[in-house]
Amino acid sequence: RSRSGSGRGSARHVAVIMDGNGRWAKSRGLPRLAGHRRGAEVVRRIVEAAPDSGVSYLTLYAFSTENWKRSSEEVQGLMELFSIYIRREGKELKRRGARVRFIGDRTRLNRDLAEQMGRLEASTESNDRLNLTIAINYGGRDEILGAVRRLAAEIAAGRLAPEALDADAFSAALDTRDLPDPDLVIRTSGEMRTSNFLPWQSAYAEYAFVPETWPDFTPELFARACAAFGARNRRFGAAD
Ligand code: IPE
Ligand code: IPE
Ligand code: MG
């Protein structure tokens, strides 16, 4: 299976760095959590709209391994929001034919939340209209190190030959093993950095940095970013 598309075409896998909830709230004199709450509503709208742009894999960055540095109030609030989101949207996602997956290290999450995540994954396993992946306590370096540790143990135990470790075998050791590489990564709120999101998987992704904050992001802006992607010429290192 080819992990990337080629040339021009529609973005099959779009990954989104949902940034700017705090700034959205601050500019309105609201607490940061109000921005996160509004952000969760935007998630619902973008999930609904994504298939209209030909997207079959949508991956959302909800909480990074670095986001624990925030106040315990904000971290707690975000964790509660994830739980509320799963409770409220779980049925609807199932009904819409979404297959939900979570990537990131679950061992540091509250057990109830981790269980909710596992149940939603199990109950949507047979769906295939949209593959929705939510990154919670996800960090690209953390993911890569985890894979390296497991692979190194396999090699040390004599179960894996070092020569057998190629790009496909490495990809298969990551949390994203069941996903194609992202074609397009969108980041809202104007920051031009990737903040540890899918570094291995996005090696040949196209990027779209949009100025709107995540709570102000709309299905129209999403569709526009996807359409602009379709006009780009991806060469993957080839001459044309
Ligand atoms: C993105 O919005 C949501 C998370 C990182 C959880 P931010 O909370 O980073 O918002 P800004 O960047 O401070 O505006
Ligand atoms: C990236 O946004 C993480 C998520 C969107 C979940 P951050 O706001 O945490 O990234 P930095 O701090 O601007 O790099
Ligand atoms: Mg931010």
Q: For every one of its 240 residues, what pLDDT tens digit does the chain have, with 9 covering 90 and above?
A: 344 445 678 999 999 999 999 999 999 999 999 999 999 999 999 999 999 999 999 999 999 999 999 999 999 999 999 999 999 999 999 999 999 999 999 999 999 999 999 999 999 999 999 999 999 999 999 999 999 999 999 999 999 999 999 999 999 999 999 999 999 999 999 999 999 999 999 999 999 999 999 999 999 999 999 999 989 999 999 998
- At residue 64, φ and ψ (nearest 5 deg) are -95, 165
**Integer Cα distance of 27 and 21 in angstroms:** 10
| Closest approach atom of ligand 1 to CA 191 | 12
Residue nearest (by alpha carbon) to ligand 1 atom 6: 63
* 19 catalytically annotated: yes
Structure confidence by residue, pLDDT tens digits, 23-40 = 999 999 999 999 999 999
**Integer Cα distance of 208 and 195 in angstroms:** 14
Chain Cα centroid distance, residue 135: 5
Residue from 23, 32, 67, 209 whose mutation best tests the ligand 2 pocket (most atoms within 8 A of CB): 67
CA of 19 to the centre of ligand 2 (A): 6
**Integer Cα distance of 171 and 167 in angstroms:** 6
Ligand with smallest separation from the Cα of 20:
1
Chain Cα centroid distance, residue 21: 16
- At residue 221, φ and ψ (nearest 5 deg) are -65, -35
CA distances from 155 to 77, 150, 164, 171, 200 (A): 42, 9, 10, 16, 21
Residues contacting residue 38 through CB under 8 Å, at least 6 positions apart: 21, 24, 25, 215
Write down the residue that tokens 């379709």 correspond to: 230
Structure confidence by residue, pLDDT tens digits, 41-61 = 999 999 999 999 999 999 999
